[in-house]
Chain A
Amino acid sequence: MIAIIDYGFGNKKSLSLALREIGVPFKVTDKKKDIDEASHIIFPGVGDFGSAIFSLKKKKIFNYLKKINKGKKQILGICLGMHLFFESSEESTNHKGLSLIKGKIKKFTKKDIIKIPNIGWYKIKGNKKKFNKKFYFLHSYFLDKNKNTISYITRNKMNISAIVKKKNLTGVQFHPERSGIDGLEFLKNFYYNEF
């Protein structure tokens, strides 16, 4: 079973529909017990970094989630969900992230791309395996390509992380739940195969 972490907002509905479509069991939850029982965890996308961290603290699961990568569960963070894995984000100076992976999420500036946010379907590259497909991106904040990056996109000569991986943690900047058949295939792969 996949536990989808509930911040109280976001597009968990889109994600739920996608998981239902591929026939994967899931539960949207903010309870430690459900998360403990799940084999997989997804931190969904869409939301503000500070508001999401604040919500996790209010629900008293922030400190619990800070150690979530210690077990054997496969964990996926989508867009904002991926950002939460890192130490901080320029989206919120008041809140530190879960700090499961070292690094800082940055804001696009007008120099980086012509229009902010970066919206559209981009073919990801760099991954030697099978996910060099087009996925849907919608974001104003990003992670530079670094040693944890296994796939990336290039916008205006900047390399932006598309997939990051560290042990049982996988973060994706794009939205697999909104990327058509290839996106559904990606989610299926997360559940049935170890990345």
Chain B
Amino acid sequence: MRIIPRIDIKKPNLIKSIHLEGLKKLGNPAKFLEKYFQEGADELLIIDCVASLYDQKPKFKFLNELTKNIFCPITIGGGIKTLDDAIKILNSGADKIAINSEAVKNPKIIKKISDIIGVQSVVVSIEVKKREKNIWEVFIENGREPTGINVYNWVEKLNSIGCGEILITSIDQEGTGKGFDIDLCKNISNIANCPVISSGGAGDILHIKNIKTQTKTSGVALSKFLHIQGNNVSNIKKQLKLS
């Protein structure tokens, strides 16, 4: 299982939210990225969490600066709407792009991008809120807009379109440090054809252990657990016997 620090950005700061709201500024994201790379992160995930919401283009120049001293895989998301955006994101130092709002509004864009940059480099980010036991609704625009779509239907659709990875974020758990939504991660990693990264809720090493033993998740995205609680990636990998 891969350990993936998640860097949510509201330019020029790394921010941390709770339930994707109430943004707390934590400072220069470049410092965090370089620290996690040095500590042996398997990959890094950078999400511009306001681009889609404010209908902004990805901030290519800024991303370029952030990634220039990093030599592990980087996924970048936020505000990607077109094939041209995706290519520019790769030219800004990313190896994979993550797409959420536009993918839901216009699913054809997923194949259009994959046909050029390769399906392995297209990560579809899914944000959900739990509605009842084993039912989750897909949200877009950084957790602001409900879509009425049941997450299972969306994942099945992605199975038929094809994508490189799914990043699943539980809005309910995000920023709480109370643990992942295990049922969600278990169900999504069971039905998805591609690898799944679980995000939202990590606050204790036990939470990550549970994900590792109880689900087919291929990677965990960590934010508060690292940025605020100050845990070291290398120690986490040792404790989980991943290194």
Binary A-proximity of B55-93 (CB < 8 A = 1, otherwise 0): 000000000100111111110000000000001001111
Please name all residues of chain A whose beta carbon is closer than 8 Å to the beta carbon of B226 when the two chains form the complex: none
Total CB contacts across the A-B interface at under 8 A: 107
Known: A136-B73, A178-B72. A46 touches B42 (CB 8 A): no
Choose from A48, A114, A177, A183 the contact partner of B117 (Cβ within 8 Å).
A48
Known: A48-B116, A183-B71. A13 touches B90 (CB 8 A): yes
- A151-183 interface with B by 8 A CB criterion: 175, 177-181, 183
Among listed B6-14, B25-33, B118-126, B206-214, interface-contacting one:
B118-126
**In the bound complex, what is the Cα–Cα distance between A119 and B67 (angstroms)?**
21
Please name all residues of chain B whose beta carbon is closer than 8 Å to the beta carbon of A21 when the two chains form the complex: 69, 71
**In the bound complex, what is the Cα–Cα distance between A46 and B119 (angstroms)?**
9
- A10-65 interface with B by 8 A CB criterion: 10-14, 17-18, 21, 46-48, 51
Instruction: Check: B234 CB closer than 8 A to any chain A CB.
Output: no
- B136-184 interface with A by 8 A CB criterion: 164-165
**In the bound complex, what is the Cα–Cα distance between A13 and B64 (angstroms)?**
9
Instruction: Check: A195 CB closer than 8 A to any chain B CB.
Output: no
Please name all residues of chain A whose beta carbon is closer than 8 Å to the beta carbon of B34 when the two chains form the complex: none
Q: Report the minimal beta-carbon distance from B224 to chain A, rounded to whole angstroms.
A: 24
Choose from B37, B93, B218 the contact partner of A17 (Cβ within 8 Å).
B93
Whether B118 and A180, one on each chain, are in contact in the complex, defined by CB atoms closer than 8 angstroms, is no
Please name all residues of chain B whose beta carbon is closer than 8 Å to the beta carbon of A183 when the two chains form the complex: 71
Instruction: Check: A147 CB closer than 8 A to any chain B CB.
Output: no
Whether B218 and A119, one on each chain, are in contact in the complex, defined by CB atoms closer than 8 angstroms, is yes
Whether A180 and B71, one on each chain, are in contact in the complex, defined by CB atoms closer than 8 angstroms, is yes
Please name all residues of chain B whose beta carbon is closer than 8 Å to the beta carbon of A114 when the two chains form the complex: 216
Instruction: Check: A1 CB closer than 8 A to any chain B CB.
Output: no
| Number of B interface residues in the complex (CB < 8 A) | 39
Known: A46-B117, A47-B117, A178-B72. A117 touches B194 (CB 8 A): yes
Whether A17 and B117, one on each chain, are in contact in the complex, defined by CB atoms closer than 8 angstroms, is no
Whether A14 and B93, one on each chain, are in contact in the complex, defined by CB atoms closer than 8 angstroms, is yes
Instruction: Check: B107 CB closer than 8 A to any chain A CB.
Output: no
Whether B90 and A46, one on each chain, are in contact in the complex, defined by CB atoms closer than 8 angstroms, is yes
Instruction: Check: A126 CB closer than 8 A to any chain B CB.
Output: no
Whether A178 and B193, one on each chain, are in contact in the complex, defined by CB atoms closer than 8 angstroms, is no
Whether B93 and A121, one on each chain, are in contact in the complex, defined by CB atoms closer than 8 angstroms, is no
Whether B193 and A177, one on each chain, are in contact in the complex, defined by CB atoms closer than 8 angstroms, is no
Binary A-proximity of B13-49 (CB < 8 A = 1, otherwise 0): 0000000000000000000000001001010000000
Instruction: Check: A82 CB closer than 8 A to any chain B CB.
Output: no
Whether B68 and A17, one on each chain, are in contact in the complex, defined by CB atoms closer than 8 angstroms, is yes
Whether B90 and A9, one on each chain, are in contact in the complex, defined by CB atoms closer than 8 angstroms, is yes
Please name all residues of chain A whose beta carbon is closer than 8 Å to the beta carbon of B94 when the two chains form the complex: 11, 14
Known: A46-B118, A120-B218, A184-B71. A13 touches B193 (CB 8 A): no
**In the bound complex, what is the Cα–Cα distance between A13 and B88 (angstroms)?**
10
Instruction: Check: A80 CB closer than 8 A to any chain B CB.
Output: yes
Selected A-B contacts with CB under 8 Å, 20 pairs:
A11-B90, A13-B90, A13-B92, A46-B90, A47-B117, A48-B114, A48-B116, A51-B115, A80-B118, A91-B118, A114-B216, A115-B194, A115-B195, A119-B195, A138-B164, A140-B119, A140-B120, A175-B73, A177-B71, A180-B37
Interface residues of B (CB under 8 A from A): 2, 37, 40, 42, 64, 67-74, 87, 90-96, 114-121, 164-165, 192-196, 216, 218-219
Interface residues of A (CB under 8 A from B): 9-14, 17-18, 21, 46-48, 51, 80, 91, 110, 114-117, 119-121, 136, 138-140, 175, 177-181, 183-184
